[in-house]
Amino acid sequence: MKKIEIFVRHCKVSKFSKDRERIRGFSKEECYKNLKQTIDKSLTNITFMMDGDLNDHFLKNEKEYKITPIEGGSQAMSWQSTLEYVNNNNFSDDQIIYFLEDDYLHRNNWNKILLEGFDLNADYISLYDHLDKYKLPIYQKLQSKILISKSCHWRSVPSTTLSFAVKYKTFKKHFDIYKKFNFVDLGKTKDHEMFLDLWKNGSNLITPIPGYSSHMDLHWLSPTIDWEEILKKNKFI
């Protein structure tokens, strides 16, 4: 068993992201290529969770890693199916589970950085250094604890998206909280409120400075990193 098990949720079209502004050259296939190019195969394994028709998706050509079909149809159902799938696996307590959405890019060495974060006794880690935590008025008085690992600084943050890493024992402990904030009837998950509740239950969440991944939302990219340059590198490999 590898130290990091990634579960990447893929779908053909998401109503929450189809109109989002992206960086030049973006596609979900490029994010997929970037993930495969940046993983350390000695540390990391991938399972692709495919919501929709595989025959009409670029994942149909994937031969190296497992593809698990799920019947979602909405962000919330996709998340619910992935939660149930992971919950039904018998991972060891210290197994790192990395939930990932299909529109993120990663920098090289993110695998090592993720392990360093858990050495700081983190409960939850996002590799995405959220720009909103620096920019939005509601965070003007936000105070973060600053930590340092071998390779970078880290900060505590109140919340993140549904792309985060957690050890399996913590996942099992908080499984009901994940489901509590997943509103299948509305087709959405209240991730911000979910993490606030996890903090109230004694957990913590940290992100590296600068980020080692970014959501490919043009207006909220992880700062100080040239993500377009990272995306360009996909095309030459």
DSSP codes, 19-88: T----TT--HHHHHHHHHHH--TTTEEEEEEEES-GGGSGGGG--SSEEEEE--SSHHHHHHHHHHHHHT
pLDDT value for 14: 56
Distance CA 130, CA 133 (A): 6
pLDDT tens digits for the chain (237 residues)? 799 999 999 987 655 556 789 999 999 999 999 999 999 999 999 999 999 999 999 999 999 999 999 988 899 999 999 999 999 999 999 999 999 999 999 999 999 999 999 999 999 999 999 999 999 999 999 999 999 999 999 999 999 999 999 999 999 999 999 999 999 998 899 999 999 999 999 999 999 999 999 999 999 999 999 999 999 887 554
Distance CA 47, CA 70 (A): 12
In this structure, the chain runs to a length of 237
pLDDT value for 19: 73
Other CB atoms within 10 A of residue 111 CB = 24
pLDDT value for 237: 44
For each of the domains in the chain, give its residue range(s) and CATH number, in order of start: 4-234 (3.90.550.10)
pLDDT value for 17: 58
CA distances from 17 to 49, 102, 109, 156, 213 (A): 18, 11, 27, 27, 18
Q: What is the pTM of this model?
A: 0.95
